[in-house]
Structure 1
Amino acid sequence: MPIRCEVVSQDRIVFQGDVDIVNLPGLDGDMGILPNHSPVLTLLRYGVISIKTKTDEQFFTVAGGVAEVQPDQVTILADAAENVDEIDIQRAESARKRAEEALAKTPQTATDEYLAIQAAMRRSNLRLDAARRFKSQKRTH
């Protein structure tokens, strides 16, 4: 019996379907969610979500958010999320370079601007690492 999974970012539904297992990057560590899991509400850290069925495995980057787990459904409300196979590596490298340049020019204080640049750098690094590690490695069982 599968579990329903939805990954939603601020602007779109990134994934929706019935799956066998969902692995989440929770704040307190990675979590494996199977059908009939106990209800849980957890915050997500920057990381990679893996979603497996009997025949397929897909990977998604997530830049924070929250996951609600019910026995028959996992709902992930992400601050930002995307399928690793959709990541444009050149665009991600350009974004990282822009963030590096902006960090070098911005005073290292806890201003909103500096924190936003740091978040952009973390997201760029996550996207690049995930693309190099998982892109086109979609596993079929």
Structure 2
Amino acid sequence: MKETFYLKLNVYLLLTIIPLSVLGYYFAVSHESLFFLYEWLLAGLVLISIFISIKNIVSIRSGLKWIAISILAFLLQFSVLGLFLGPITHFLMFYLYYVVAILSFIVFIVTMRKSKTFKAIPIIFTILTGLFTLYMVFLNTLWGSNLS
């Protein structure tokens, strides 16, 4: 019971990224001076989710541990993506993202095989990893191109 409570809490925290991103879009379009608020809220949300997933990995003894590991892998990948799109926009971050995405993808595959419940979570993470990776490949191909 308690194992699934903290796992569900972690998943619900991940779902709050969606309305928070809508708020971030509103700040970026209409009130740019408040966009820092979105950035700090997102960073805090990701950090809290990372701490809860580490707690879940340590405390869960069943097959649900792999769900917690896949949540942590997704959060690390999302953090690298956020750092690239935010303060650390360097060419080498592409390769760091690709390495983290491949490792996350491997974790998701292992999670799908070992977990008997919550199988939708690694499937959703795999789809999001594919979308994020396509976006990064697109940015990588445009890097340094003169589009004018």
Give the TM-score category using the shorter length.
0.3 to 0.5
TM-score by length of 2: 0.37
Structure number with higher strand proportion: 1
Q: Which has the higher helix share?
A: 2
TM-score normalised per structure 1: 0.38
- The answer to which structure, 1 or 2, has the higher relative contact order (CA under 8 A, 6+ apart) is 1
